[in-house]
A and B are shown apart, each in its own frame.
Chain A
Amino acid sequence: MAIEVRIPTILRTYTDGAKAVDAEGATLDDLITNLESRHPGIKDRLVDEAGLRRFVNVYLNDEDVRFLGGLGTPVSDGDTVTVLPAVAGG
């Protein structure tokens, strides 16, 4: 079992076009590190020194992880993590 990560169009260059990939980890932070080992370059698009990038939304199942524990949010097998770039502008 693994955790399914749903990848938005703009980041599919890192996943050979795959809409969803598998990764492992005990927390979201671990999961992103594991994702980076499988799809190099993707981590930098998700996090910066301060944590999750401000204009990237990450959801664990049906919840925005910002309302859970951010990068420290525990994840487990069978969960789905969805990444969506925020739609924003001025």
Chain B
Amino acid sequence: MLTISQELVDKIVAHARADHPDEACGVIAGRDDVPERFIPMANAERSPTFYRFDSMEQFHVWREMDDRDEVPVVIYHSHTATEAYPSRTDVSYASEPDAHYVLVSTRDANEVEFRSYRILDGEISEEEVRFIP
């Protein structure tokens, strides 16, 4: 289960809306499975169907997390024309076994789809999301 504050959810959704129709992506760093620090990342692909963190930005963000004893608790990205469910490429490149992979869909301008998954060894398991104030 992912437990996440409404404030962080709102930030993810705002980022996804702002970058629509391109996919938006980022990280929420934290400790002990608690997402805390919102880090929007550039989508180096600037694409409506693909995302990739910029390699140098990722390096600096990962090192900063390391220095602060944080981990990427959440890795999020948006789907801009399809549902908030991991695509085949999402599964094949998933590389953080301890992260909650959050997907939001911006295909509907008025409705938000916000879902979370574990992706491990090619297997997707959806998990419950608990929103806290």
Answer whether A and B are interacting partners: yes
Residues of chain A touching chain B, judged by Cβ–Cβ distance below 8 Å, are 8-10, 55, 57, 59, 62, 64, 66, 82, 84-90
Interface bits B52-68 vs A (CB < 8 Å: 1, else 0): 11011011001100000
A64 partner residues in chain B, CB cutoff 8 A: 55-56, 59
Residues of chain B touching chain A, judged by Cβ–Cβ distance below 8 Å, are 25, 27, 41, 45, 49-53, 55-56, 58-59, 62-63, 75, 77, 86-90, 93-98
A84 partner residues in chain B, CB cutoff 8 A: 55, 58-59, 62
The reply to whether A88 and B56 contact each other, CB–CB distance below 8 Å, is no
A89 partner residues in chain B, CB cutoff 8 A: 50-51, 77, 86-87, 89-90, 93-94
The reply to whether A9 and B98 contact each other, CB–CB distance below 8 Å, is yes
Q: Which residue of A8, A9, A55, A82 is within 8 Å of B93 (Cβ)?
A: A55
The closest CB in chain A to the CB of B88 belongs to A90
A9 partner residues in chain B, CB cutoff 8 A: 96-98
The reply to whether A88 and B50 contact each other, CB–CB distance below 8 Å, is yes
A87 partner residues in chain B, CB cutoff 8 A: 25, 27, 41, 52-53, 58, 75, 93, 95-96
Given the contacts A9-B96, A59-B59, A86 and B53 also touching, CB distance less than 8 Å: yes
